[in-house]
Amino acid sequence: MPVLANTFSKCRPMSTDTALPLAYELHEPSGSKTTQPAGPPILFLHGLFGSKKNNRSISKALARDLSRPVYALDLRNHGESPHHKQHDYLSMAEDVARFLSQHNVKEPTVIGHSMGAKTAMTLALKSPDLVRDIISVDNAPVDAILSTDFAKYVRGMKQIDNAGVTRQADADAILKDYEPSLPIRQFLLGNLHRPDRNSPQQKFRVPLDILGRSLTNMGDFPCKDPNAVRFEKPALFIRGTESKYVADDVLPLIGQFFPKFRLVDVKAGHWLISENPEAFREAVLEFLRNPY
């Protein structure tokens, strides 16, 4: 259950001077080489332990349905993007702001799930001129106690790293002691790769020590005072009905930070994009086709 923090401190100003370049995949609308896109680009930001490849199918679907290009990003310390010891929402929002500048992306829609949702919210609140609208997927602008599952995942993944596994089946057998759900294990094991082409040994691509130390940061939200920062443009909050990340008692605070927000409930847990992709797609299409 989210725990509201005091609302008096302000978050530090954003700067792109120390931001990292982010890896990405660009999904173009069908026939975009001969026709103009129907709207500005969409940025898709994944959650903790995710990557751009997790959102590949839904990104292609949105590009097709909306005739808008979709950039699926790897946030810092994930996928093919650089690693850095600083892992918090202001730093990740700064990375995204740098990406927008480097790729000349003007006023995009920013969609984020979980960690990506708080990154999108931070960017919108700190630099509203950079963003057209946002879609937050199963997270809220509050300080919360992060689920203990994530700490367990880090321990299990470290055990796999130390075991010198050469097959994903062996890694999965270890991870079963930490997570009973096969889809979640498959999601986490998607981070395995072979760093040495001459060795069959598999390791995790994500820096487990950095992310393990940053779990508290992932529960926090850097902007505390809705009287100091507010996003006056459209915002959609999609929450899973079987998830506790966006409880009813945080809705008033969402409204203070995002006064033009809408709420859509999807029958799913926290991983709602993969659990109920069609309901998620329909909610996104309805919002982006009729944002006001």
List the catalytic residue out of 51, 59, 81, 114. 114
Dihedral angle sign, alpha carbons of residues 221, 148, 262, 57: positive
* Dist. CA 4–CA 14, nearest whole Å: 23
What are the phi and psi torsion angles at 257 (to 5°)? -75, -35
Residue 114 designated active-site: yes
Length of the chain: 292
Give SS3 for 135.
strand
List the catalytic residue out of 27, 46, 78, 270. 270
* Dist. CA 53–CA 50, nearest whole Å: 8
Counting Cα atoms < 13 Å in the Cβ hemisphere of 114 gives 21
Report how far apart, in Å, the C-alpha atoms of 219 and of each of 122, 171, 266, 278 are: 13, 27, 22, 28
**CB contact at 8 A, 165 and 52:** no
Residue 270 designated active-site: yes
- Name the residues annotated as catalytic: 114, 270
